[in-house]
Structure 1
Amino acid sequence: MSNEKMMSDTTTTPSSAPEILFTETIPGAGHWSMKIPRGYTLTATDIEGGANLSVLFYNPENLLERYNAPDTLKCQHTFKLTTGHCLYSDMGRIFCRIVHDDTGWIDTVCGVANKAKVTQKWGERSYQTDRNQWKQNGYDALLVEVAKYGLGKRDLAANLNLFSQVRTDAAGSLIYEENHSQPGDSIALSFEMETLVVLTTCPHPLNPASEYPFKPVQLTLTQSSATATPVNPAHGKDENQRGLENNRRYHCTSPQEVF
């Protein structure tokens, strides 16, 4: 979906609220990508409840720099992500901060389903015969998007699954929490550097639904507020301050400096 189409959906808001630059609804089993400038906030809203939004991040000025799940988790001493956490690149910089999360838990470890898994769980449909009701899988959906930027299979790092919660039981097994996200729940990411965001609304690989879940997600882009939620001291304060300092040094020499 082109940026030109999305920018034509511009909406105005009261002066007390951030100006909405665009809003776009991504249908279930859809995919999307865009370069988000530093200083802007992308808010995702689960329209119907039960959505899953698989997300990856890259530096558009150097596509070898991308989201690093292990560093993000270990430096903040956590298995899950939520408000106050930072999302790190493999260069020790912070792509964005989670400034709002109605769900309280973002899955960080389960990745996406491939075609074989989706076919096994929900049967097979093709776009040629079923059009928008075909059963796309998260792996191929992400591949379609990264290919637009010259990337491929080896460039798909471990992703986030917004609106999904996966916990462990006493035996260490992964447990998918059904109905974790409710209609209207939103998650907001405030960007600390220009970032290529790649995402898909395909279902979570552990979703036990009997029917393939087509769950739409609304995306809204606004300029970040000066009063946005700061880095949470309980979530790796020292490490996150070092990450923000790495960002500051990067932007001191970046030819793409805007703000």
Structure 2
Amino acid sequence: MIKESNLSPATARYRKVVGAGDYWIHVVNKGETFRILDLEGNQAADTLFFNADDPAERYSAPDTIREQRNIYLTTGTVLLSDICRPMLTITADTVGRHDTLGGACATESNTVRYALEKKSMHACRDSFLLAVAENPNYGLTKRDIGHNINFFMNVPVTPDGGLTFEDGLSAPGKYVEMTADMNVIVLISNCPQLNNPCNAYNPTPIEVLIWAKGA
């Protein structure tokens, strides 16, 4: 469901532009609201969530899909953990739906989807692994890299149950906004994919903004 936010970027306590192919890892505290802004349109923000007080608890796609009875995420969706606790609630969304099935690109999937010589190309899973390796203070390891959300990605389900990667529904200035229901570690890989036409073969930056509780 399309819903615009009433929060102004001028009042955000934190703002960070994340370049194409870069990662971003940060704690968003309970009650704070954060926004992922698609600066140039049709970029994919592959995102993982963990309980900042106990990182063994993390976002669960199956629990979220089952309890929401919807495979797509949008305004009003509650993102649930693997013990079915609310982690975040989507409070504003100017895109309309986001993917939680397609997963993150990896060197292996690049080989399967595109060509053998694509195996050496940078992928979102590489960014996730680099993030946990460079930031041991968050208590995460490569074993914690599970199923992610693809914000801004358009991945329809076919009548026979398959997935297709279609042109994005996003555009410059579109965003999705969430309020944290617990202290959460947010890990984003701003997708470096150069082989998929949905981003016109041109990965672009995103911006992340955080507002204090009650802003």
TM-score (norm 2): 0.84
2:187 corresponds to: 198
Pick one of 140, 164, 170 that aligns with 2:153.
Answer: 164
Divergent runs of 4+, >6 A: 15-18
2:126 corresponds to: 140
For residues 93 and 172 of structure 1, do their structure 2 counterparts lie closer, same or farther at Cα, with a shift above 3 Å needed? closer
Contact 1:67 1:90 in 2 (8 A): yes
3-state SS of paired residue (1:144): helix
1:187 corresponds to: 176
Pick one of 36, 59, 68 that aligns with 2:28.
Answer: 36
3-state SS of paired residue (2:57): strand
1:9 corresponds to: none
Task: Give the whole-Å Cα distance in 2 for the aligned partners of 1:217 and 1:190.
Answer: 19
1:61 corresponds to: 53
2:17 corresponds to: 25
1:214 aligns with 2:200: no
Alignment identity in percent?
Answer: 31
Task: Give the whole-Å Cα distance in 1 for the aligned partners of 2:18 and 2:55.
Answer: 24
Give 1:47 deviation, angstroms: 0.7
1:95 aligns with 2:87: yes
Contact 1:26 1:217 in 2 (8 A): yes
Root-mean-square deviation (CA, aligned residues, Å) is 2.7
Give 1:204 deviation, angstroms: 6.3
Give 1:74 deviation, angstroms: 0.0
Give 1:179 deviation, angstroms: 3.2
Question: Which deviates further from its counterpart, 141-150 or 203-212?
Answer: 203-212
Task: Give the whole-Å Cα distance in 1 for the aligned partners of 2:174 and 2:96.
Answer: 10
Contact 1:18 1:223 in 2 (8 A): no
1:71 aligns with 2:29: no
For residues 77 and 18 of structure 1, do their structure 2 counterparts lie closer, same or farther at Cα, with a shift above 3 Å needed? farther
Task: Give the whole-Å Cα distance in 2 for the aligned partners of 1:195 and 1:59.
Answer: 5
Task: Give the whole-Å Cα distance in 1 for the aligned partners of 2:214 and 2:162.
Answer: 40
Give 1:212 deviation, angstroms: 4.2
Listed as ranges, the gaps of 5+ residues in structure 1 are 1-14, 127-134, 227-259
Contact 2:168 2:198 in 1 (8 A): no
Contact 2:122 2:193 in 1 (8 A): no
Give 1:18 deviation, angstroms: 7.3
